[in-house]
Structure 1
Amino acid sequence: MRLELIVLIVLVSLGSSFGRHSHSHSHHHHSSNKLKVNQEAYSKWLQYMASRNHSIYEEAKNQLNPCKRIKVHKNPKHGDYTTVQQAINAIPLINNCRVIISISAGTYKEKIEIPAYMAYVSLEGEGANRTVIQWNDTADKIGPNGKPLGTYASATFAVNAPYFIAKNITFKNKAKPPPSGALGKQAVALRISADTAAFIGCKFIGAQDTLYDHRGRHYFKNCYIQGSVDFIFGDGLSLYENCHLHAKTKNYGALTAQKRESMLEETGFSFVNCKVTGSGALYLGRAWGTFSRVVFAYTFMDKIITPRGWYNWGDKNREMTVFYAQFKCSGPGANYGGRVSWARELTQQEALPFISLSFIDGHEWLTGL
C-alpha cells in the first residue's frame, strides 16, 4: 500500500496546487499549505524511489571478461579491419559475451549504429583526442526514404544494445552550429537508446542536441560534452561524474532538456563533481518533459549560467511538476539567490539518492569496470 498511498497524496496535492495563482489572499495561504504537503509527500516519494525494490529494471548482470578482441587500424597490416563498421559487422548477430574493439588513433568518418541484439560491445580508443568517430548529419537532411532524417536518425553513433561500453573516444557531429532560431538543425553526436551503458574518458562534440541520452541507465565518467542548445537531452536515467560540460553559443543556450513525462517514471539526469564552462547565457535545463528531473551536485558553474537557472519550456504548469535542484555547487554561476522559485536547494538527505552509483543501480553492472 505504501507506493499507492504516496502517489495518491502527491496527486491530490498537485491537483490542489495547480490553481494557486487565482482568488484571494486566504486562498494563497491555503494553497501554500497544500504546497508544503506536496513537497513533504514528494520528499517521501524520493526516498521510496531511492530504495532498490522500486525498480522496473531487472537485475543487471554485466559481462566484462572478453571472449573476443578485434583491432581497428588505418593500416591493414596493423589491425583486423580498417573501419569501425567492419569490426562491428564481424560480431555475431546475437552476441552474448564481451567483445572489445580496440580503435587505433585516427579520424574515422563513419555513421554507425549498434543493433539491439548486439549486447556486450566495448569500444576502446587510444585517447579521446586521438581516436575520433565523426559524421555531419542534421535532422533536416533528406534520408534514403526521401524524408528528413529527424533528430533520432541524425546521430553519428547510435547504440541500441545493452551493456555497451566506450572508453577514450571522441564522438563528433561536424554539422555547423545553426543560426539562432533555425529549424531542423539538430545534429546528434551520439544517441544511446539502451540500458546499462558506460562512457569513460569520452568526448561528445556537436552544437544543437549533441548527446541524445534517450533511454536506459547510463554512466558518464571523466567525459567532455560540448554543444549549444539542449546539448544533453532525452529521457535516460543517467549519472554524470567528473564531467566537463562546455557551451558554445553567442546567445541563449541550454545544457539539458530532460524528458521525464510522469512522476512514476524512473528517469533523470544527475551531475556530480562536474564543471560547466563556455560562452553565451546558459540555462541549466529546459523542461522538455512535464516532470523533467535534473540535479547538479558539487558542480562548478562559471558565470555563463543565467541567474534564473531554469526554463519552463513556455508552460507555467510545468513549474509545479519539474524537479530541478542544486546541492553544494560552487562558482559564479552557482549563486542560488536569483534562481526561479520552483527550483530547489537540496539538503544532504534529499541529495543522497542522486549523488551515488545507486541512482543508476551501478553496483550491479559497473563493478570491475
Structure 2
Amino acid sequence: MGSSPHSQFDKAENKVKTCRNITVDKKRKFGDYFTIQKAIDSVPIVNLCRVVIYVYPGLYREKIDIPPTKAYISLVGAGADKTIIEWSDTAEQMGPSGRPLGTFGSATIAINSEYFIAKNITFKNKAPLPPSGALGKQAVALRISADAAAFIGCKFIGAQDTLYDHIGRHYFKECYIEGSVDFIFGDGLSLYDGCHLHAITNSYGALTAQKRESMLEETGFSFINCKVTGSGALYLGRAWGTFSRVVFAYTYMDKIITPKGWYNWGDKNREMTVFYGQYKCWGPGADHGGRVWWSRELTQQEAKPFITIGFIDGYEWLSHLKF
C-alpha cells in the first residue's frame, strides 16, 4: 500500500497551489455564497486541485457534510472567535431515515474527503452538557473520517464526544478543544501540537477515548506542548479500543487530572494491551506517582517516535503547507 512508513496508509501527496477561491458571507454582501454547504456543493464532484473557501465573520447555523470525492478543500475563517459554525444534534435524535442519528451522524460538520485543511474557525455542537452517565447524549462538533487533514488555530466546542477523530492521519496545531467525556475520540493517527484541552464536567470526565483495536494498527493520539485545564476529575484517557494508544509529552496538566490518570473501560484485560505514556509533562496534575501501573513514564527513546510530525508521516504531506 504505497510507500508510507505506516503501511496501512497510502503515500500522501498533497496539493498546495490554489486553483480556485470561493467566498462565503452570511450577510450576502460580499460572498459568492451565503452558506458554507452551498460553497462546498459548488466544488466539482471529483476535485483534483486545492479549493480555498474563505468564510466571512458570522455565526453560521449549518449542519455540513463534505463528501469523499471533494478532496483538497481548505476552509478558512476570519478568526476562531469571529467565524463560528454551529448545530445541536445528539446521537439519540431522529435522522431523515427515521432512525436515531447515532454518534457518527450527530456531527455539526462531517469531513469525508482527503487533504482537508481548516484554519481560524470554530466548530460547535450546542447540545447542552448532559448529566453524568446519560445515554444518547453524544454530540459531535466535528467528525474527520479521511486521511491527511490539518486544523490550524481552530476551536472545537461541545460536551460529550466533541471531536470525533475517526480515521486517517491528522494534525491539530494551536487548537482549543472543549468537552466533558471522551471529548477527543476515535481511531485516528493524530498529532495535537500546542493545543489547549479544556474540561467542562462537574463529575468524572475523560479527555481521550482512542480506539486502536489490534497491534497491527498504527493509530494513536500524541499530544505535545499542550495544556489541560478545566473542572471536574479528568482521566487522560479511557481504553475504548483493546490496544488504545495515547501519549502526552511536554504538556501542562492542571490539578483536575485524577491521580490514576487512565481508565481500563471496565476491562482488566486491556491493561495488558494498551499503550499509555507521559514524557516530561508538568503541572499539579502531571505527577506520575499515583498513576495506574499499566501506564508509563517514557524514556527519551520511547518518546521519540511520538513527538515530531513524523508520527503522522507529516514530512510527506504537511511540511510544505503554508499555515
- TM-score (normalizing by structure 2): 0.98
Aligned ranges for residues 146-161 of structure 1 at < 5 Å?
146-161=98-113
State the percentage of identical aligned residues. Answer: 73
Whole-Å separation in 2 of the counterparts to 1:87 and 1:183: 35
Distance change in 2, residues 1:100/1:299 (3 Å)? same
Alpha-carbon distance, 1:53 to partner: 4.1
Distance change in 2, residues 1:363/1:124 (3 Å)? same
SS at structure 2 position matched to 1:352: helix
Aligned ranges for residues 277-316 of structure 1 at < 5 Å?
277-316=229-268
CA shift digits 1:310-329 (9 cap, x unpaired): 00000000000000000000
Whole-Å separation in 2 of the counterparts to 1:77 and 1:308: 54
Q: Which residue of 2 aligns with 1:33?
A: none
Please say if residues 4 and 12 of structure 2, whose CA atoms lie closer than 8 Å, have aligned partners that are also in contact: no
What letter corresponds to residue 153 of structure 2 in structure 1?
G
Aligned ranges for residues 75-154 of structure 1 at < 5 Å?
75-154=27-106
Whole-Å separation in 2 of the counterparts to 1:145 and 1:74: 29
Give the one of 243, 255, 260 matched to 2:195. 243
Give the one of 2, 5, 8 matched to 1:56. 8
- Aligned: 1:220 with 2:172: yes
The number of equivalent residue pairs is 319
Please say if residues 159 and 179 of structure 2, whose CA atoms lie closer than 8 Å, have aligned partners that are also in contact: yes
Aligned ranges for residues 163-202 of structure 1 at < 5 Å?
163-202=115-154
Q: Which residue of 1 aligns with 2:158?
A: 206
Alpha-carbon distance, 1:193 to partner: 0.2
Judge which range, 72-81 or 298-307, deviates more.
72-81
Structure 1 unaligned residues grouped into runs of 5+:
1-50
CA shift digits 1:271-304 (9 cap, x unpaired): 0000000000000000000000000000000000
Structure 2 unaligned residues grouped into runs of 5+:
none
Alpha-carbon distance, 1:59 to partner: 1.4
Alpha-carbon distance, 1:74 to partner: 2.0
CA shift digits 1:126-152 (9 cap, x unpaired): 000000000000000011111110000
Q: Which residue of 1 aligns with 2:277?
A: 325
Whole-Å separation in 2 of the counterparts to 1:102 and 1:144: 30
SS at structure 1 position matched to 2:167: coil
Please say if residues 6 and 313 of structure 2, whose CA atoms lie closer than 8 Å, have aligned partners that are also in contact: no
SS at structure 2 position matched to 1:250: strand
Alpha-carbon distance, 1:54 to partner: 4.8
SS at structure 2 position matched to 1:78: coil
What letter corresponds to residue 23 of structure 2 in structure 1?
K
Whole-Å separation in 2 of the counterparts to 1:292 and 1:346: 16
Higher strand share: 2
Whole-Å separation in 1 of the counterparts to 2:281 and 2:157: 25
What letter corresponds to residue 118 of structure 2 in structure 1?
A
What letter corresponds to residue 363 of structure 1 in structure 2?
Y
Q: Which residue of 2 aligns with 1:26?
A: none
Give the one of 108, 114, 120 matched to 1:162. 114
**Of the two, which has the highest radius of gyration?**
1
Whole-Å separation in 2 of the counterparts to 1:52 and 1:159: 22
Distance change in 2, residues 1:181/1:73 (3 Å)? same
- Aligned: 1:231 with 2:183: yes
Q: Which residue of 2 aligns with 1:4?
A: none
Q: Which residue of 2 aligns with 1:263?
A: 215
- Aligned: 1:352 with 2:299: no
- TM-score (normalizing by structure 1): 0.85
Whole-Å separation in 2 of the counterparts to 1:144 and 1:82: 24
What letter corresponds to residue 80 of structure 2 in structure 1?
A
Alpha-carbon distance, 1:75 to partner: 2.8
C-alpha RMSD of matched pairs (Å): 1.0
What letter corresponds to residue 280 of structure 2 in structure 1?
K
Alpha-carbon distance, 1:106 to partner: 0.3
